[in-house]
Amino acid sequence: MSTLAIEVNGLRKRFGKQTVLDGINLAVAKGTIFALLGPNGAGKTTLIHILSTLTEPDSGHARIDGYDVVGDRKEVRNSISLTGQFAAVDEVLTGEENLKMMCRLSGLSVKESSARTAELLKSFDLAGAAGKRVKTYSGGMRRKLDLAVSLVVHRPVLFLDEPTTGLDTISRRALWDIILRLKQQGMTIFLTTQYLEEADQLADTIAVINRGRVVASGTADELKARVSGEVIELRNGNDELLRTVPTSGGIEDVRHKLNEIAHSFASDTRISIRKPSMDDVFLALTAKETEAALV
């Protein structure tokens, strides 16, 4: 049996004259977190819409748990759960009513629905707001409810389209914890994000997408290794960044670079050597693409 939860081969999609996806290939192993990283308009949401049966591709194939997203739509819908970019909850209903409605639609009995709703409200720390209308919820609470609604019955593959966009740091970290917990329970999670840190923190594998193409993929470390060398950072006593200097990281090169610049900085300047961040990687990868497109 295949160990892949998601397989994508040569997927293309155009809207009118605009090519949104230009031959996407991806593979996501079962029980892992996969992050699709890209700027606005890169095609992330379109890809999620195709994988979750909302939109049909023009050409190419995609399989979820072995089921084709076009041919076996019904089986795919039984295998997935989607949390879209905008909180997909009913604002007029209360949190509890939202969960109960989704439980009932998923085929649970009235009694099972109440039990499952209570369980989810508790584990998502929403019990206190259960009887309040969603309209009054904060962004973080809404997102948590949104995620809870996706989990009323166990579906092996979860799609999260920009799950933490617009959230404050505390809510974002709370959501990260939940996502990691879901992975421990054996779910496969496919998320899109604009935040490099998020992909770095959560994902087992990352694909960087730009202009409808996958420009790089691999683990966070593999991607970082693609930007060669390391970086020397110089900071003053107040921890303000004064300068960054590229280096191979070898002792000879570091000494040489420091000798060159040491005289122009105060004696209490502190140095550190770091690996390139995901930001460096992302900028390098997408800049290359944009340059190529301009030529």
Partner 1 sequence: MKTSPSMLPKPASFTATNLIFIGRSLRHSLRNVEALIMAIMLPILLMLLFTYVFGGAIDPTGDYVNYVVPGIILLCAGFGSSSTAVDVATDMTNGIIDRFRTMPIRSVSVVAGHVAASLARNLLATCIVIGVALLVGFRPSAGAWEWIAALGVIILFILTYTWLFAAIGLVTGSPSAASGYGFALLFLPYLSSAFVPTNTMPSWLQGFANHQPVTPVIETIRGLLAGTPIGDNGWWAISWCAAILLIALVWCAIAFRRKSGRR
- Contact positions vs partner 1 (CB under 8 A): 1, 31, 49, 52-56, 74-75, 77-93, 97, 101, 104-108, 112, 133, 149-150, 153-156, 186
In whole angstroms, the minimum distance from the beta carbon of 74 to partner 1 comes to 6
Decide whether 10 or 156 has the Cβ nearer to partner 1. 156
Burial of residue 201, with CB atoms counted within 10 A of its CB: 0-12 exposed, 13-18 middle, 19 or more buried: middle
Taking the C-alpha atoms of residue 51 and residue 159, their distance in angstroms, rounded to an integer, is 9
Report which of 209, 254, 256 is spatially closest to residue 232, judged by C-alpha positions: 254
In whole angstroms, the minimum distance from the beta carbon of 213 to partner 1 comes to 23
Taking the C-alpha atoms of residue 291 and residue 156, their distance in angstroms, rounded to an integer, is 40
In whole angstroms, the minimum distance from the beta carbon of 128 to partner 1 comes to 21
Burial of residue 71, with CB atoms counted within 10 A of its CB: 0-12 exposed, 13-18 middle, 19 or more buried: exposed
Q: Please give the structure tokens belonging to residue 136.
A: 């009054």
Decide whether 88 or 284 has the Cβ nearer to partner 1. 88
Taking the C-alpha atoms of residue 31 and residue 87, their distance in angstroms, rounded to an integer, is 25
Decide whether 187 or 223 has the Cβ nearer to partner 1. 187
What residue type is 292 in one-letter code? A
Decide whether 17 or 263 has the Cβ nearer to partner 1. 17
In whole angstroms, the minimum distance from the beta carbon of 86 to partner 1 comes to 4
In whole angstroms, the minimum distance from the beta carbon of 37 to partner 1 comes to 22
Q: Locate tokens 């996407």: which residue?
A: 24
Decide whether 85 or 201 has the Cβ nearer to partner 1. 85
Q: Burial letters for 247-265: b for 16+ Cβ neighbours within 10 Å, e otherwise?
A: beeeeeebeebeeeeeeee
Decide whether 31 or 140 has the Cβ nearer to partner 1. 31
160 and 190 Cβ atoms separated by less than 8 Å: yes
Cα separation values, 223 from 59, 135, 170, 228, 283, Å: 29, 41, 27, 10, 12
Kind plus residue range of the DSSP H or E element containing 147: helix 139-150
In whole angstroms, the minimum distance from the beta carbon of 22 to partner 1 comes to 20
Decide whether 69 or 199 has the Cβ nearer to partner 1. 69
Cα separation values, 34 from 6, 85, 109, 205, Å: 10, 17, 33, 5
In whole angstroms, the minimum distance from the beta carbon of 100 to partner 1 comes to 9
Decide whether 45 or 217 has the Cβ nearer to partner 1. 45
In whole angstroms, the minimum distance from the beta carbon of 200 to partner 1 comes to 27
